[in-house]
Amino acid sequence: MFDGNRVEWKIVVDLREANLPKILKPRMTFFVGGKLEIEDGNVRLDMKDLFLENQRIQVQVFELVIFIGSRLMGSEPFSMSDWWELPYGIKDIQTQNGKAAFFY
C-alpha cells in the first residue's frame, strides 16, 4: 500500500489439478499495481500495471485466467474492473505507505 490509494499485489494462481488449455501454465505468479477507487460505498481497482512473472501483459490475459479459474471452481466469473460493495458501514478507504485507513 502506498500514498494516494495506490496498491500492489502478488497473486499466485495454482491450477495444476485443472485440465487447462495448453496455452496457460498451471501455476502463474501475477504482479498487479493500480489505484483503489471508492465511490458511493463501492470500490474497484483501476489497474495500471500487470505482470506475469517478469513479463508485462495485457489485462485481458489476467481476465481470461480469472474466467477459466471461476468456471473450473463452479463460480461466476468477474472482472478486475468490477465495482465491489464495501462492507456495511465503510464509507472510504485511504492508503499510506504500508497502511490502510477505513472510514465509517
CA within 13 Å, CB half, 24: 22
Name the pLDDT band for 22 (thresholds 50, 70, 90).
confident
Domain coordinates in residue numbering, the chain: 3-103
Comparing 7 with 18, the larger pLDDT belongs to 7
* Predicted pLDDT at 51: 95
Q: What is the mean pLDDT of residues 12-17?
A: 83
Read off the pLDDT of residues 35-88 as tens digits, 9 standing for 90 and up.
999 999 999 999 989 998 999 998 888 788 788 878 887 888 888 789 999 999
Q: How far is CA 9 from CA 4, 45, 49, 90, in A?
A: 16, 11, 10, 22
Residues 35/7, Cβ–Cβ less than 8 Å: yes
Residues 7/34, Cβ–Cβ less than 8 Å: yes
Comparing 16 with 93, the larger pLDDT belongs to 93
